[in-house]
């Protein structure tokens, strides 16, 4: 068995069934929205399994994107991945979601310099990380204003949202990649390559990077006091 169910909900819902032996994506589903993880995830998992005729018990394992990402969406995917891993008695591997974007950049654009990938962190900020030309992570992940990113090429939907701020910082944005979202299909080869080198991907702790937007009501704080 060399087929993996891959789930990433760090920026949008993305599910894929990936065959490590052939390097093929057997089936995938991707949402273009960033707030529908609860509504779409279970259906997407059912769809990719139905498309291939593969059952959960026939999988080699599950790969889950650990973010960074907003609290609710990211949590939905990680809880689901842990549940499927338990129910089907499968190994579970956690991989930083920005690595999926980096893998796509190296595969499709063949970068000649270090580069950044960025996704939308809301509050006029981005989640970002720096990678070498071979896709090796050199720095990050971080969260912060786009205007404070290093002066390097930036790829991903975060770049497209904050093109002007990035330009002021000396960074460059390519039209070809400025709308790219993280995809489970790209996360799988990145994670499996890391596993092959002996990397420890046993943790599925979410990379939130900042405090939740949810605040404790004042009356509850007073009650605790």
Taking only the tens place, the pLDDT of each residue in 107-153 is 999 999 999 999 999 888 999 999 999 999 999 999 999 999 999 99
Domain ranges of the chain: 3-97+182-196, 99-173
Q: Is the model's pTM score more than 0.75? A: yes
**What confidence category does residue 169 fall into, taking pLDDT thresholds of 50, 70 and 90?**
very high
How many angstroms separate the CA atoms of 57 and 225, rounded? 50
Class at the top of the CATH hierarchy for domain 3-97+182-196: alpha beta
Same CATH fold assignment for domains 3-97+182-196 and 99-173:
yes
pLDDT of res. 216: 42
Mean per-residue pLDDT, 153-174: 95
How many angstroms separate the CA atoms of 10 and 31, rounded? 12
How many angstroms separate the CA atoms of 30 and 41, rounded? 10
Mean per-residue pLDDT, 95-111: 97
**What confidence category does residue 34 fall into, taking pLDDT thresholds of 50, 70 and 90?**
confident
Taking only the tens place, the pLDDT of each residue in 9-33 is 998 999 999 999 999 999 999 998 7
Q: Determine whether domain 99-173 maps to CATH 3.30.420.40.
A: yes
How many angstroms separate the CA atoms of 194 and 191, rounded? 5
């Amino acid at each position: 068995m060399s087929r993996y169910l891959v789930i990433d909900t760090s920026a949008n819902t993305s599910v894929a069934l990936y065959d490590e032996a052939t390097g093929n994506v057997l089936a995938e589903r991707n949402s273009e929205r960033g707030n529908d993880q609860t509504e779409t995830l279970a259906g997407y998992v059912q769809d990719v399994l139905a498309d291939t005729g593969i059952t959960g018990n026939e999988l080699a394992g599950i790969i889950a994107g650990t973010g960074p990402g907003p609290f609710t969406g990211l949590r939905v995917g990680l809880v689901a991945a842990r549940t499927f891993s338990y129910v089907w008695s499968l190994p579970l591997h956690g991989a930083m979601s920005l690595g999926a974007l980096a893998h796509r950049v190296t595969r499709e654009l063949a970068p000649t310099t270090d580069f950044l990938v960025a996704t939308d962190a809301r509050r006029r900020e981005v989640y970002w990380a720096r990678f070498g030309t071979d896709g090796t992570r050199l720095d990050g992940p971080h969260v912060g204003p786009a205007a404070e990113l290093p002066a390097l090429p930036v790829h991903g939907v975060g770049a497209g949202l904050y093109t002007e701020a990035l330009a002021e910082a000396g960074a460059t944005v390519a039209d070809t990649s400025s709308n790219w979202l993280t995809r489970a299909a790209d996360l799988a080869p990145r994670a499996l390559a890391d596993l092959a080198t002996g990397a420890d991907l046993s943790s599925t702790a979410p990379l939130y990077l900042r405090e939740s937007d949810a605040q404790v009501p004042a009356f509850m704080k007073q009650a605790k006091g």
